[in-house]
Structure 1
Amino acid sequence: MTDANQAWEELRPGVDRILNKWEEGIHPNEYMTLYTTTYNYCTNSRSTSTDHRAEQKGANLIGGELYAELKRHLEQHLQSITDQGASHMDDSLLVFFTKNWTKFTVSAATLNHIFGYLNRHWVKREIDEGHKTIYEIYILALVSWRDHLFQRLQEKVIKAVLKTIAKQRNGETIDTGLIKTVVESYVSIGLDENDSRKSTLEIYKTYFEAPFIEATEAYYKAESEIFITQNPITEYMKKAEARLKEEEKRVEMYLNPATQKGLITTCESALVKNHTTAIQDEFQTLLDNDRLEDLSRMYGLLCRVPDGLDRLRTIFEAHVRKQGLHAVEKVAESAAAAAAAAAAGTATPPNERGDDDEEDEAPKKKPASAAKKAAGADSAEIDPKLYVDSLLLVHKKYAELVQTAFRGESGFVASLDKACREFVNRNVVCKSSSSKSPELLARYCDSLLRKTSKMAEDNEFEDVLNSVMTVFKYVEDKDVFQKFYSNYLAKRLVNGTSSSDDGETSMLTKLKDACGHEYTNKLQRMFTDMGVSKDLNDSFKEQMERTHEKDDLIDFGVLVLNTSSWPFQPPKSGLNIPDDLLKTYERFQRFYQNKHSGRKLTWLFQFCKGELKTNYTRASKTGYTFQVSTYQMAVLLMYNSATSYALDELLGTTGIGKEVLVPTVGLLVKAKVLSMEGGSSPSAPGVRFVLNEDFKSKKVRINLNLPIKTEQKAESSETHRTIEEDRKLLIQAAIVRVMKTRKTLKHVTLVSEVLTQLQSRFKPQVPDIKKCIDILLEKEYIERADGSKDTYNYVA
């Protein structure tokens, strides 16, 4: 028979050795002896135990008195350790605390195994019956540590920990293992009151984390206020960034991960939030000096605090807009300087300028300011490549800045887009008309896609087109771009000057992706017409061969284009088709009418061209080949009959209008194919145009079909007029769509919805919308609601 006192007397020496000489370990034989003693006591049915509940429930549930003895012994052991710790301070206390914690927990784990049978039976029964003050032996040890040693020493321990951390923050080397062990002990003794086998962070948060974060806030608040007054903001940002990294690393080294959020938030408040205005004030200086690293650091700090980036985004948007406007101004000034230099030099020949006034023959100077103003107002004076490149340069610079320094943050992306939209659509070049940017962009695209473009042969061609689409994205008047691009594309296709079909197709695909199928529908049909025209030419030549008419047929090719798809207008000038061309002209007319009965062909002579072989020149035995427009051809073919004509004779025979004939002949005079006699201007009275039989050139093939500036300006003006007409129809269509859907609508709401519908193509002016509403009222598509002047009803 074994009672509790006898069992404890047998166990106590071994328990003492485990608690006090844990480094030596325990011999297996002694371990088994202690375990057996515990087992024998718990299974002794004739025990003299006073545990009456155990007697009632059976021999296998004895253990309460042994449990109580062990508990008292642990408390006495911890009381002894606590008394020893009272004499220690700071680092010495931490060493003492951690050493005894490690020793005690190892010992407790060993005791937990020795009293394993007690845990599995008596302790388990007590816990299952809801006795919250009964624990497994290891947990009992932790609770004893918490209630006896921890409660008495924790204030001194936390003060020592905070002092040690402060030393580390001041640059001193510390033993981080000590703090890590203290932290682990605080976490370990945080037991759940409802289930002692579960742990919580309550002890850690209350007795460690709270004072630690409070001390951290005070430390960094004091340090930052002193440092920022004695150093530049850029140096302060480096300091703040380094401190935040230190605290993040501190969590990894020895703090519980649950502390990170509160700790970093506190540091951000002390280091960044409290100094947000001072940091933001430095932003403009960093932008002006392209301090990429500092900008990145500033973003990294201010993105941590609420609304820290709002002011930066506003400053950034204004800065980018200013840089964009400045870049365009430099391009305009360059164009102005070129215009002023040209105006100050020898006068441009009248035929080159398309001028037919004799009094303009003398050289004239313009004031530089006037030339500058003209260059800024007229997009024809601006080099499209320089203009687009200047826009792209600014965008590229700050897009890279957003991606690198600001990590692609959506707010800065939006600010960049707003700024770019402003300087692309509202700059010095666009002052006279908001449509200048899309017009210049279309001209730039034309220069890229024509055969003369060096870039068209470069591997970077696709990248260049992507850059074009970057500017296109910011252009508000996309309908203007569409109209001019359509004009230039039509000319490239008609003249066969496209650099490659792949390039044209790639550009169309990008426009389609950006604006939809409807935007590129007509452009796509142009390519279809080109294919149909090729088949038509082949059919015509085959028929001429079958009817034996090919021998007297000149080399002839024709493009038959659909009026609705192509941006061409009928010629304003008449033309008497020369006899040399008439037979072929008539044959094709008959061929086409037989093939497509009822269709009408309108000949666009202003786009026709051909080649003439010469054999009259004295300077060349083999002669030259002139590449000419149809109008030039009509003029030159007259010189097969005579060598000199007056202007009236040329007008009468060719049937060409004077406004077209004068610049046409002017180009021939400038090229020295014809010479003028009896006057200094093609339109001067009595002037005669004489064939220059001494004409000579280093080239065998000579292109005389050069663009005439007056025609180019007139064409640009006509395009803008067409755009305005198209816009009126688009606005009216949008109004009808909205009203058909809504049936009844107030004026303000109608205007707002129309603006929303059309903003992807262009930005309509409110007065224009009002005019279109009035037109639809007159046409009775809509009507005013009874009793309300600002409400409209849809008329079905």
Structure 2
Amino acid sequence: MACKSSNFDMEWTNIQKAIEKLQNILLGQPGVTFTTEEYMINYTSVYNICQKTSGDNIIEQLYHDYRNIYERYIDSVVLPLLAKEYHGEFFLRELVKTWRDHKVMVRWLSHFFIYLDRVFTSRVSLPSIHEVGVICFREMVCKEMNARAVDVVLYLIEKEREKGKIDRALLKNVVDVFVEVGMKELEYYQHNFEAAIVEDTGKYYSRKASSWIMEDSCPDYMVKAEECLKSERERVSHYLHSSSEQKLVARVQRELLLVYESQLLEKEDSGFQALIHEDKVEDLSRMFRLYIETPEGLEPIADMLKQIITGEGTMLVEQEVVSADIIKKIIGLHDRYMDLVTAPFKNHALFQRALQQAFEVFCNKDIAGSSIAELLSMFCDDMLKKGGDGEKLNYESIEENLEKVVKLLAYVSDRDLFAEFFKKKLSRRLLFAKSANQEYEHFILTKLKQQYGAQYTSKMEGMITDITLAKESQKEFKKYLQDQPNSDTLGIDLSVTVLTTTSWPGFKSLDINFPGEMLNCIEVFKGFYNTKTHNKKLSWVHSHGTCNIHGKFEAKTIELIVSTSQAAMLLLFNYADKLSYSEIQTQLNIDDEDLVRSLQTLSCLKYKILKKTPKAIAVSPNDVFEFNSKFTDRMRRIRIPLPCQEVEERKKVAEDIDKDRRYAIDAAIVRIMKNRKVLSYQKLVIECIKLLSPMFKPEIKVIKKRVEDLIIRDYLERDEDDRNLFKYIA
């Protein structure tokens, strides 16, 4: 000892006796223990050294001598003991025992030397008395025995993975050694123990995965992977530190799930596509459970789901001809994959987006020249009109189908096109009393309004309101007729539906010189309407009118349901036996197109109410017509429709949509520029598309054309220095 103080020597002699006794206790000698008096003697010895010696040199020497106590003990007792030929668990038990003994030594010596902490270590920022004891064990024992201990632990863990029995409590104690010598910091445990376990775990499961991926089906592989992950979590809970779970599980997930993900998903007879087609909900749920913890692993699954749905949907729309079943099949496809997204995939955002993107691909393709928007409107029409599919279903089924249409419409970019077609068909249902139930009409309009806003359905709701008001007006008209002096002079049961021009689709104007009895009806109703208002003007739409005429044939009287123009033509034959094409045209003042269409339905098709000379399947200007008194039919009431003008109607809708879109693009550009004042062309296009996308996706070339038009109309101007920059003109 370097100290020459006699006081120090005397006190240190007492401490050495205590150290020898402590070592005997640790070596297990019977009957050896410390009394309270001995504890006080040793504490007092340390106190006296610190108080009665002069200068910090003596105290510092005491601090170093304290450390030497541990170093000598470890060198002479601990290391020789651990150097013996212990194998496996026996070595680990000795390591745990020496640590426990060392902790006892540290606890007693810390009690003896605690005063040294108060007067020295805290003041000079040195490790505390307790920390010195732990540091000595860590640097002299753990560092020396680390590799050997880790090798044994790894061997035992692999033995357990292979269904062998091990002493889990022993492993827990070994882990505690590596954690405790870190003194509340996990860095030592993580660097010297955890890292090796994680690395070895990765190698173990890499070997297993390379074998399983070749031998097992996708479901069997996932069952094994799930069991392995469960066992690793249990392993952590039993003997590893809780902080190791995330790293260990992540490594297992990487080796079992991520490395072989593509091979697993693409297995020919049992991969993801097979599970989808065979509706293996349990296996798909397991796949989701496994990969939800590895978000980067979900993306390939969602991408594959998108590819599968896109492929099925594209094949469906490309092979299918336009029919009533096409929308049912698309709805069925959507229901099926929506159930998958909802159940096994728990409505995860990635799978919702995959479903959406897939349906957006094929729901914006044309089917035999018809858009999905048009076909959806046709499907709705069939649900909502009398005699359609809706009459075969109950109320709940109809509502469910209509709600599914609204969901499908979300994938269609041309939602304004659907609105236009739907409005056209709604007008026919309402005007011709073909609507099966007003509640159904209100239901789908409510759903559309919730999804796309009040403006989307405002005109359609106005149409229904007009029909409701028209019924009330008709009651008033009947009362008006009854109150007239000659209430029976009309001679015809007249029903007039008054509509608001702005709510209804544009109707073709049909000006006809009506026969007297029909003209009289029009004048009477005008007189009634003028009593109600003087600010509104009636504009008659004869192209959408219908008439019920009693045709008196030789066999029997048959009620004919015909259009207004057909009725006008038939009434001419009350005053003439024969009429030529030109005579009919002159008397009615009707154009060739409408005249040919009406005459063809009355003389050339199924119901030949008129006889045409010469006989032919087409009407020509040289034809002569006469009433066919010998006509008969098994029915007492027949409807004679005009030829379908589907092509013309579709063309008219396209023209109306094109016009509306130009107005919408103009309004969007002006709104954006009014708010931003100055904007580049690229940003203007982006904002315009974003603003209009809820209704339709405008083409960039159309936007460019509308910008140029707005410049000409002095709404915008180009910047003089930057031609790509536009300014709003207030």
* 306, 323, 329: which one aligns with 2:318: 329
**Deviation of 1:704 (Å):** 0.7
**Alignment-derived partner of residue 504 in structure 2:** 566
Give the Cα–Cα distance (whole angstroms) in 2 for the partners of residues 311 and 511 of structure 1: 34
Aligned residues of 2:578 and 2:625 also touching (Cα < 8 A) = no
* 407, 410, 413: which one aligns with 1:470: 407
* 1:558 counterpart SS class: coil
Change in Cα spacing, 1:527 to 1:163, as seen in structure 2 (3 Å) is: same
2:540 is the counterpart of 1:603: yes
Change in Cα spacing, 1:608 to 1:156, as seen in structure 2 (3 Å) is: same
**Alignment-derived partner of residue 253 in structure 1:** 238
**Deviation of 1:649 (Å):** 5.7
**Deviation of 1:81 (Å):** 6.4
* 614, 622, 647: which one aligns with 1:713: 647
One-letter code aligned to 2:459: K
**Deviation of 1:233 (Å):** 6.9
2:201 is the counterpart of 1:266: no
Deviation digits for residues 622-663 of structure 1, max 9, x if unmatched?
x65544433343345456667776655655555555533444
**Alignment-derived partner of residue 512 in structure 1:** 449
* 1:289 counterpart SS class: helix
Deviation digits for residues 112-139 of structure 1, max 9, x if unmatched?
7xx9997998877777667856546xx8
Gaps of 5+ in 1: 58-63, 192-198, 333-381
* 1:565 counterpart SS class: coil
* 2:628 counterpart SS class: strand
* 378, 395, 412: which one aligns with 1:443: 378
**Alignment-derived partner of residue 421 in structure 1:** 360
After the TM superposition, which residues 222-621 of structure 1 pair with which residues of structure 2 at under 5 Å, given as runs? Answer: 222-225=207-210, 228=213, 239-275=224-260, 278-279=263-264, 282=267, 286-291=271-276, 316-332=305-321, 382-383=322-323, 385-403=324-342, 407-427=346-366, 429-430=368-369, 436-455=371-390, 457-548=394-485, 550-552=487-489, 554-579=492-517, 581-612=518-549, 618=555
Count of aligned positions = 704
Give the Cα–Cα distance (whole angstroms) in 2 for the partners of residues 92 and 469 of structure 1: 72
**Deviation of 1:306 (Å):** 8.4
Aligned residues of 1:570 and 1:603 also touching (Cα < 8 A) = no
* 1:611 counterpart SS class: strand
One-letter code aligned to 1:504: E
**Deviation of 1:166 (Å):** 1.6
* 172, 179, 184: which one aligns with 1:180: 172
Aligned residues of 1:465 and 1:507 also touching (Cα < 8 A) = yes
One-letter code aligned to 1:714: E
- Between 266-275 and 230-239, the greater mean CA deviation after superposition: 230-239
What is the percent sequence identity of the aligned residues? 25
Change in Cα spacing, 1:429 to 1:172, as seen in structure 2 (3 Å) is: farther
Change in Cα spacing, 1:763 to 1:253, as seen in structure 2 (3 Å) is: same
2:37 is the counterpart of 1:37: yes
Change in Cα spacing, 1:308 to 1:696, as seen in structure 2 (3 Å) is: closer
Deviation digits for residues 225-259 of structure 1, max 9, x if unmatched?
45556667776565555444433332222211111
**Alignment-derived partner of residue 724 in structure 1:** 658
Give the Cα–Cα distance (whole angstroms) in 2 for the partners of residues 116 and 740 of structure 1: 79
2:619 is the counterpart of 1:683: yes
Change in Cα spacing, 1:526 to 1:50, as seen in structure 2 (3 Å) is: closer
Could you say what the CA RMSD is over the residues aligned between the two structures, in angstroms?
4.7
Give the Cα–Cα distance (whole angstroms) in 2 for the partners of residues 102 and 578 of structure 1: 120
Give the Cα–Cα distance (whole angstroms) in 2 for the partners of residues 544 and 19 of structure 1: 125
Change in Cα spacing, 1:576 to 1:237, as seen in structure 2 (3 Å) is: same
Change in Cα spacing, 1:50 to 1:779, as seen in structure 2 (3 Å) is: closer
**Deviation of 1:482 (Å):** 1.7
2:702 is the counterpart of 1:764: no
Give the Cα–Cα distance (whole angstroms) in 2 for the partners of residues 637 and 687 of structure 1: 13
Aligned residues of 1:286 and 1:295 also touching (Cα < 8 A) = no
One-letter code aligned to 1:565: S
2:92 is the counterpart of 1:94: yes
One-letter code aligned to 1:674: I
Aligned residues of 2:88 and 2:152 also touching (Cα < 8 A) = yes
Give the Cα–Cα distance (whole angstroms) in 2 for the partners of residues 153 and 774 of structure 1: 82
Change in Cα spacing, 1:703 to 1:288, as seen in structure 2 (3 Å) is: farther
2:161 is the counterpart of 1:159: no
Give the Cα–Cα distance (whole angstroms) in 2 for the partners of residues 480 and 564 of structure 1: 18
Deviation digits for residues 551-600 of structure 1, max 9, x if unmatched?
55544332211112211324335250551x44443222012123221422
* 2:325 counterpart SS class: helix
Give the Cα–Cα distance (whole angstroms) in 1 for the partners of residues 68 and 728 of structure 2: 92
Change in Cα spacing, 1:18 to 1:89, as seen in structure 2 (3 Å) is: closer
Give the Cα–Cα distance (whole angstroms) in 1 for the partners of residues 211 and 400 of structure 2: 51
Change in Cα spacing, 1:133 to 1:773, as seen in structure 2 (3 Å) is: closer
TM superposition score normalised by structure 2 = 0.80
Aligned residues of 1:675 and 1:692 also touching (Cα < 8 A) = no
- Between 218-227 and 5-14, the greater mean CA deviation after superposition: 5-14
Give the Cα–Cα distance (whole angstroms) in 2 for the partners of residues 793 and 141 of structure 1: 78
Deviation digits for residues 101-156 of structure 1, max 9, x if unmatched?
67887x789x87xx9997998877777667856546xx888667656665554443
Give the Cα–Cα distance (whole angstroms) in 2 for the partners of residues 418 and 393 of structure 1: 17
Give the Cα–Cα distance (whole angstroms) in 1 for the partners of residues 67 and 298 of structure 2: 62
One-letter code aligned to 2:468: G
Give the Cα–Cα distance (whole angstroms) in 2 for the partners of residues 786 and 53 of structure 1: 89
TM superposition score normalised by structure 1 = 0.74
**Deviation of 1:161 (Å):** 0.8
* 1:459 counterpart SS class: helix
One-letter code aligned to 2:174: V
Gaps of 5+ in 2: 1-10, 55-60
Give the Cα–Cα distance (whole angstroms) in 1 for the partners of residues 495 and 567 of structure 2: 16
Aligned residues of 2:507 and 2:543 also touching (Cα < 8 A) = no
Change in Cα spacing, 1:445 to 1:75, as seen in structure 2 (3 Å) is: farther
**Deviation of 1:494 (Å):** 1.8
* 45, 48, 51: which one aligns with 1:51: 48
One-letter code aligned to 2:624: G
One-letter code aligned to 1:37: E
Give the Cα–Cα distance (whole angstroms) in 2 for the partners of residues 490 and 794 of structure 1: 40
One-letter code aligned to 2:386: K
**Deviation of 1:667 (Å):** 4.1
One-letter code aligned to 2:379: Y
* 1:425 counterpart SS class: coil
Deviation digits for residues 328-348 of structure 1, max 9, x if unmatched?
12312xxxxxxxxxxxxxxxx
Give the Cα–Cα distance (whole angstroms) in 2 for the partners of residues 108 and 626 of structure 1: 115
Give the Cα–Cα distance (whole angstroms) in 2 for the partners of residues 19 and 131 of structure 1: 34
One-letter code aligned to 2:530: Q
Give the Cα–Cα distance (whole angstroms) in 1 for the partners of residues 94 and 216 of structure 2: 42
Aligned residues of 1:614 and 1:624 also touching (Cα < 8 A) = yes
One-letter code aligned to 1:327: L
**Alignment-derived partner of residue 195 in structure 1:** none
Aligned residues of 2:365 and 2:371 also touching (Cα < 8 A) = no
Aligned residues of 1:626 and 1:703 also touching (Cα < 8 A) = yes
Tell me which of the two structures has the higher relative contact order, counting C-alpha pairs closer than 8 angstroms and 6 or more residues apart. Answer: 1
